[in-house]
Amino acid sequence: MNVVAEDLPEHGSGFPGPWRLAWRRLRYDRLAMVSLAVVAFFIALMALSWTGWLAADWGREVGVSHAPPGLIGPDAASPAVQHGGAPAGGIQPDDSGVVDPLGEVLARIRSGAAGAADDGGVVDPLAGVLAEIRARAGAAQAGGAMRAATLPFGGDKWGRDVLSKVIKGTETSLFVGLSAALLATFLGTVFGAFAGYHGRRVDDFLNWFYSVFTSVPYLLLILAIAAVLSQKGTVTVVLILGLTGWTGIFRLVRAEYMKHKVREYVQAADAIGASHARRMFVHILPNISHVVLVQLSLHVVLFIKSEVVLSFLGFGVGVDTVSWGSMLNEAQSELLLGKWWQLAAATAAMAVLVTSFSLLTDALRDALDPKLK
């Protein structure tokens, strides 16, 4: 939301513009400024993680399996480490431990196709992945002695650092939330602008479209689309959430356009020969942009929550991506073993971000529309 500050138009005279007034109101709200700082921190975290400066090696198994949180170091109460890093009950991947799940089937298919000229053209589709896993397992074994008994924020089942996973999960969840919200806001604003500005046929059609989308409950619609797409990935989640989540914004923007299109400044724009598109997006849009901004912020929170649920259920991001949802999924079974730290870390990160974002949204609404209250 720093954009608000930087995009301020330069006013030569002493008369402050509406954005500057809003920013001034926002600055006096101490809670809002703290929330803004927290949100900015998370966005910075996302950017650093995305560029690979942070948590790039989240997949490395740096600690023992389920390493408890603590800063004490390897010498405390864990004899397993001195014995070369194989903790009791832990999973120690080694070369022989990595089994090709398709090996048996492939062998059978190949023997069936033995009569053919070549080996039946049956190629193990997992060969590449397995080679990589085995190489990594070998490396892990070489560094096995280096595994830490405790990690600052604990480790997961494979001994991966929970802190790195949370940072990586922040990247995924925040990216999904932000881009899905941008997509939904864009669709809602464009549809709402056309419906509200043109009215009549266009309005009827878009309203029909709206009522179709809203008559199916939100989560059910998302699940139905997830069932159909059956192809996981970050982009898929963004598309699912963005393409279904525009309805609330549409309704608000449409109402604003209906209100604004009869105002004098729009008539004046008509008089100087501005085209419909120009009146819609150059003249009216800036005057309702505060509504859009608040909605954008609101939807980021909504989509972050939805992404967590989707990924938890396994319909969200792919298996090789960490998100808070997939972390919660792992944490569910860990909790039964008494390993609470992954659950705590994912929950805390999400709660802090979502709380700050919600508080910031409330403050934005107050600052941008002082007539409320």
Partner 1 sequence: MPAYILRRLWQMLPTLLGVVLLVFFLFNWVGGDPAYLLAGKISNPAQIESIRRQLGVDQPVYVQIWIFIQQIATGDFGVSWATNERVAEIFATRLGPSLTVLVPMLVIDTLIALAAAMLVAYLRGSLTDRIVMIGCTVGQSVSILVYIIVLQYLLAYQLGWFPVQGWGAGLAENLLVYSLLPVIVGVLVSIAPDTRLYRSFFLDEIGHDYVRTARAKGMTEMRVMWVHVLRNASIPIITNVMIQLPGLLAGAFLIERFFSIPGIGREVILAVERSDFPVIKAVTVYVAIATMIINLLADLLYKAVDPRVQLK
**DSSP 8-state code for residue 13:** S
> Contact between 230 and partner 1 (CB under 8 A)?
yes
Of 48 and 229, which has the nearer Cβ to partner 1?
A: 229
Find the shortest distance in angstroms from Cβ 167 to partner 1: 18
Which residue has 């059609």 as its token pair?
A: 205
The footprint of partner 1 on residues 161-220 (CB under 8 A) is 208-209, 211-220
Site size toward partner 1 (CB under 8 A) is 45
Find the shortest distance in angstroms from Cβ 5 to partner 1: 24
Of 92 and 173, which has the nearer Cβ to partner 1?
A: 173
**Residue 2, φ and ψ in degrees, nearest 5:** -65, -20
> Contact between 225 and partner 1 (CB under 8 A)?
yes
The footprint of partner 1 on residues 3-22 (CB under 8 A) is none
> Contact between 226 and partner 1 (CB under 8 A)?
yes
d(CA 341, CA 324): 13
**DSSP 8-state code for residue 68:** P
Find the shortest distance in angstroms from Cβ 216 to partner 1: 5
Q: Are 191 and 211 in contact (CB under 8 A)?
A: no
**DSSP 8-state code for residue 126:** T
Q: Are 179 and 241 in contact (CB under 8 A)?
A: no
Applying CB under 8 A, among 126, 223, 239, 258 the residue interacting with partner 1 is 223
Task: List the x/- string, 293-332, binding to partner 1 by CB under 8 A.
Answer: --------x---x--xx--xxxx--------xx--x--xx
Of 148 and 226, which has the nearer Cβ to partner 1?
A: 226
Find the shortest distance in angstroms from Cβ 146 to partner 1: 33
Find the shortest distance in angstroms from Cβ 354 to partner 1: 3
Find the shortest distance in angstroms from Cβ 323 to partner 1: 12
Q: Which neighbouring-strand residues pair with 63?
A: 148
d(CA 167, CA 159): 16
d(CA 302, CA 336): 29
Find the shortest distance in angstroms from Cβ 333 to partner 1: 10
Alpha helices in 314-337 (DSSP H): 324-336
CA 111 to centroid of chain Cα atoms: 46
Find the shortest distance in angstroms from Cβ 338 to partner 1: 10
d(CA 183, CA 172): 16
Of 64 and 327, which has the nearer Cβ to partner 1?
A: 327
**Residue 155, φ and ψ in degrees, nearest 5:** -125, 165
Find the shortest distance in angstroms from Cβ 49 to partner 1: 20
Of 289 and 329, which has the nearer Cβ to partner 1?
A: 329
Length of the chain: 373
Applying CB under 8 A, among 123, 228, 262, 272 the residue interacting with partner 1 is 228
> Contact between 69 and partner 1 (CB under 8 A)?
no
Going by C-beta distance under 8 Å and a sequence separation of 6 or more, which residues neighbour residue 154? 66, 67, 68, 69, 162, 339, 341, 342, 345
Find the shortest distance in angstroms from Cβ 104 to partner 1: 16
Of 214 and 287, which has the nearer Cβ to partner 1?
A: 214
Of 41 and 208, which has the nearer Cβ to partner 1?
A: 208
Measure CA of the first residue to CA of the last residue in the chain; give whole Å. 22
Q: Are 148 and 76 in contact (CB under 8 A)?
A: no
> Contact between 111 and partner 1 (CB under 8 A)?
no
d(CA 323, CA 286): 35
- Structure tokens belonging to residue 197: 């500005």
Q: Which residues make up the interface to partner 1 (CB under 8 A)?
A: 208-209, 211-221, 223-230, 301, 305, 308-309, 312-315, 324-325, 328, 331-332, 335-336, 343, 347, 350-351, 353-355, 358-359
